[in-house]
């Protein structure tokens, strides 16, 4: 988990973005895709240096953030988009995207070269690596729906 200035939750960031908008027009709601991408850019700045987590955290490579950005953008550009994930960085140099749905949790870990994903439910966990983005998005959608 990020410490210091980036410790605020994603929802706090979204609220801050809306409340502190410099536009003169009223905003009914921020664009969720742009809001999450802005939050990811903030986390990227916070995770560039070794020890960014107050411990021995590896920096999260810019390539990992680019891959995560493409993944999130692809999730939202679908006709049937996935819900917005929780976004964080890990001390092992990965970007984490997490979705919760009832008793199910899906975790996607995106590194500079690899993507790991884990689907957790009351049954056994399913873990795979290096999957195609389109295949992973479809698996996530079905899993979160309980299919």
CA distance 47 to 4: 12
Domain, as residue range, for 72:
4-145
Quote the pTM value: 0.74
Q: Residue 30: is it exposed, middle or buried by C-beta count within 10 angstroms (0-12/13-18/19+)?
A: middle
Pinpoint the alpha helices (H) of the chain: 10-19, 32-46, 62-76, 133-145
| Number of domains present in the structure of the chain | 1
- Decide: 86 and 13 in contact? Cβ < 8 Å: no
One pLDDT digit (tens) per residue for the chain, 147 residues: 333 334 344 444 444 443 443 333 334 446 888 889 999 999 999 999 999 999 999 999 999 999 999 999 988 887 778 888 999 999 999 999 999 888 888 999 999 888 888 888 877 777 776 677 778 888 888 888 887
**So what's the pLDDT on residue 24?**
31
């Amino acid at each position: 988990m990020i410490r210091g200035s980036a410790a605020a939750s994603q929802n706090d960031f979204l609220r801050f973005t809306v409340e502190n908008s410099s536009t003169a027009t009223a905003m009914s709601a921020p664009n969720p895709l742009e809001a999450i991408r802005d939050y990811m850019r903030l986390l990227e700045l916070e995770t560039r240096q070794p020890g960014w987590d107050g411990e021995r955290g590896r920096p999260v490579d810019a390539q990992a953030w680019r891959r995560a950005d493409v993944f999130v953008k692809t999730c939202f550009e679908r006709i049937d988009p996935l819900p917005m994930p929780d976004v964080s960085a890990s001390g092992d140099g990965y970007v984490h995207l997490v979705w919760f749905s009832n008793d199910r949790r899906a975790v996607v870990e995106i590194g500079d070269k690899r993507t790991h994903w884990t689907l957790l439910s009351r049954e056994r966990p399913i873990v795979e690596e290096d999957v195609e983005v389109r295949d992973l998005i479809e698996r996530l959608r079905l899993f979160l729906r309980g299919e």
